[in-house]
Amino acid sequence: MQKLSRRLRFSIGIFLALWPVVVAAFVPAQVFAGLDVNMVSADRLPLAIFCVAALLSEVMAMMLFFRTRVFPIDPLTSWSVIAATAAGTCTLAFLVAAVANVFHAW
């Protein structure tokens, strides 16, 4: 990790932080229905697995953002702090969703 440039670490962090949000927000419900996943059914295990994968991705993104910071503060550091805060918020949201789906699946 130390050998990667700051901009590359920031870019990888952006990808890791955004893919779960994009999938959760823009994948049509028909795709999940094709996997026999429905929000009202008892079988939400694939949805819980997705939430856990998203949770891990957000945590990795947050770690990359924190490692991108340097002092004195430059614009990339400022954006890294903002992105780490957003990734942390998404981490909590995916954690709550994962726990709710796991409890509902079992």
**Residue 41: pLDDT over 60:** no
Render pLDDT for 62-98 as a digit per residue (tens, 0 to 9): 999 988 988 888 889 999 999 999 999 999 999 998 8
**Domain assignment of residue 19, given as a range:** 6-105
User: What's the domain count of the chain?
Assistant: 1
Indicate whether 13 pLDDT > 70. yes
The whole-number pLDDT of residue 62 equals: 93
In this prediction, residue 40 has a pLDDT band, given cuts at 50, 70 and 90, of low
Within-domain flag for 11: yes
Q: Do the domain assignments include residue 62?
A: yes
Return the DSSP state at 94: H
Are 42 and 105 a contacting pair, CB within 8 Å? yes
Does 79 map to a domain?
Answer: yes
Residue 1: is its pLDDT beyond 70? no
pLDDT at residue 43, rounded to an integer: 64
Q: Is residue 1 part of a domain?
A: no
Identify whether 61 is part of a domain. yes
| Cβ neighbours for 57, distance < 8 A, ≥ 6 positions apart | 16, 17, 19, 20
pLDDT tens for each residue of 48-68: 788 889 999 999 999 999 889
